Amino acid sequence: MSPTEGTIPFRGHETWYRVVGDGEAPGKLPLLCLHGGPGACHDYLESLERVAGTGRRAIFYDQLGCGRSSRTDETLWTVETFVDEVGAVRDALGLDRTHIFGSSWGGMLAMEYALTKPTGLASLVLSSSPASIPIWAEETMRLRSELPADVRRTLDEHEAAGTTDSPEYEAATLEFYKRHVCRLDEWPDGVLRSFAQLADNPGVYLYMQGPNEFVITGTLGNWDITERLGEIVVPTLVTSGRHDECTPRQAEIVHRGIPGSEWVLFEDGSHMQFAEEPERYLEVLDDFLTRVEAA
């Protein structure tokens, strides 16, 4: 199953993509994977390439402005741009009928895309994706308050001084990430690559999110589609971790809001269950996709 890579013209720029798998087995549909951030690139989703072993292609791309796609400026860093990019990728790759997986911001994007009522959308898989950034901010600040006192002190001091780009602040932030983003003792190469690329090219993330996962200063600060979740009518699987920065409170809001959705909570997991428990995650994912395809 040799990967195929290429670029797609979009808004005068180039969106880079990667397809793993040679096609679909009878009755199967491809899985289009949307990465988080915004601006984190696709590499941390690498474990999902295993989907190709279940008779489906796994399709990834780096959203405009990050990773291997064209660098752009803030005029294109909008929800509307990224929603349109999903459609452009589908059109270019001939994904007439497809499942869509979204991680974190990628799931937020998937929900926004689903709200446009596109044809051929078979299902959604929303991994640790909130429906409300104001609630996300409440929950991540609560989790932050549970960090050790010396870590909280470092965060507070550097935020007050405006030195959130200092090595000390970044080290303190990493303590939060080790608890609530990826709890593995050693992070997989794909996760490390995504963080490295984000550090090298933080523009989209800073503009739309902020300096980190719990200080929200970007344009997504007031984003909230809670009241519109009932408009999403495709089969939907919600996954999250017990220790997730997208806390069970947030996952439950999405689950209860989308009619007929399912929710799987990984008791030992955090924000990247697919990296922390790749075998079990693939089992859960394949079971859901197979049932959707059979129906």
Q: Output the DSSP codes for 96-113.
A: SSEEEEEETHHHHHHHHH
Query: Domain containing 87 — which CATH number?
Result: 3.40.50.1820
Please state, as a whole number, how many other Cβ atoms lie within 10 Å of the Cβ of residue 255. 21
Query: pLDDT confidence of 1, banded at 50, 70, 90?
Result: low
Q: Is 13 an active-site residue?
A: no
Cα angle 264, 205, 104 (rounded to 5 degrees) comes to: 5
Q: Which positions ≥6 away from 209 have C-beta within 8 Å?
A: 37, 38, 39, 105, 216, 218, 220
Q: What average pLDDT does this structure show over 82-91?
A: 98
Task: Specify the DSSP class assigned to residue 224.
Answer: B
Say how far apart CA 241 and CA 121 lie, in whole Å.
26
Query: pLDDT confidence of 164, banded at 50, 70, 90?
Result: confident
Q: Is 244 an active-site residue?
A: yes
Q: Work out how many domains the chain is built from and give that number.
A: 1
Q: Which of 47, 103, 104, 128 is catalytic?
A: 104
Looking at the domain assignment, is residue 190 inside a domain?
A: no
Looking at the domain assignment, is residue 123 inside a domain?
A: yes
- Residue-wise pLDDT for 182-231, tens only, equals 999 999 999 999 999 999 999 999 999 998 888 899 999 999 999 999 99
For the entire predicted model, the pTM comes to 0.96
Q: Is 35 an active-site residue?
A: no
Q: Which of 158, 194, 244, 261 is catalytic?
A: 244
Task: Answer whether residue 2 shows pLDDT above 90.
Answer: no
Looking at the domain assignment, is residue 163 inside a domain?
A: no
Looking at the domain assignment, is residue 211 inside a domain?
A: no
Looking at the domain assignment, is residue 191 inside a domain?
A: no
Looking at the domain assignment, is residue 178 inside a domain?
A: no
- Residue-wise pLDDT for 259-293, tens only, equals 999 999 999 999 999 999 999 999 999 999 999 99
Looking at the domain assignment, is residue 152 inside a domain?
A: no
Structural domain for 106, as ranges? 4-135+219-294
The answer to whether 127 and 104 are in contact (CB under 8 A) is yes
Looking at the domain assignment, is residue 195 inside a domain?
A: no
34: β partners: 102
Say how far apart CA 64 and CA 13 lie, in whole Å.
8
Q: Which of 35, 180, 255, 271 is catalytic?
A: 271
Average pLDDT, the chain: 96
Q: What average pLDDT does this structure show over 136-153?
A: 96
